[in-house]
Amino acid sequence: MNLNDIIAQLPYTKPFLFVDELLHADENGVIGTYTFDEKLDFYQGHFKNNPVTPGVILTETMAQIGMVCLGIFLLHNELKKDTVIAFTSADVQFLKPVYPNEKVTVSSQKTFFRFGKLKCEVVMKNEAGQEVCKGTLSGMITARL
C-alpha cells in the first residue's frame, strides 16, 4: 500500500488533519511527521503571548499518525464506506512543550491488534530528536452501527 494512499483514507481534513507525511509503514508500526503551523486557531488563546501546542492536540497527532494510519495500513483490504475509527483510550506523558512552527516526528509500535482493536506504544520527537511526549494509545476500527 502506498503511503500517500493511507493519508488519503484518513477521515480528517484541515484544520483537523495532523499528518503531513508518512515516512514508513509496516505491520508493526508507522513513522510520520507534522508541522504545527503558527496560524492554527488554538494558538490564539493557549497561552497569551506564549503559545504552546495543547496536550490534547499532541495526543490527537500521535493518534492520527501512530494509530489511525497504522490501522488503515493493517486493514486496507477490509475498509469500507461504513467504517468507523474510534479512539478508545490514551495514557500519555508530556515531557517538553511543542511551539508554533515546530515539526514533530511520530513513531508507533503495535503491541496488540485483534478483532479491529489496536493498541500502540507511540513516541513524538521534536526536530532535535528529543522526546516531547510518549504513551499508550488504543482504538478500534469497526462498521458504523
Domain 3-143 has CATH 3.10.129.10: yes
- With left for phi above 0 and alpha for psi between -120 and 50, is residue 144 left, alpha or beta? beta
Q: Where are the domains of the chain?
A: 3-143
HEC-encoded secondary structure of 19-54 = CCEEEEEECCEEEEEEECCCCCHHHHCCCCCCCCCC
Global pTM value = 0.94
Alpha helices in the chain (DSSP H): 3-8, 55-63, 69-74
pLDDT one-digit tens code per residue, 63-100: 999 999 999 998 877 766 667 788 999 999 999 999 99
Instruction: Please pick, among 46, 103, 117, 119, the residue that the annotation labels catalytic.
Output: 46
Say what the pLDDT of residue 144 is.
62
Quick one: cell of 32?
Answer: 510520520
Q: Is 46 a catalytic residue?
A: yes
Least confident of 42-51, 89-98, 123-132: 42-51
pLDDT level of residue 105 (50, 70, 90 thresholds): very high
Q: Which of 45, 121, 111, 44 is nearest to 90 (CA)?
A: 121
Phi and psi at 116, nearest 5°, equal: 80, 0
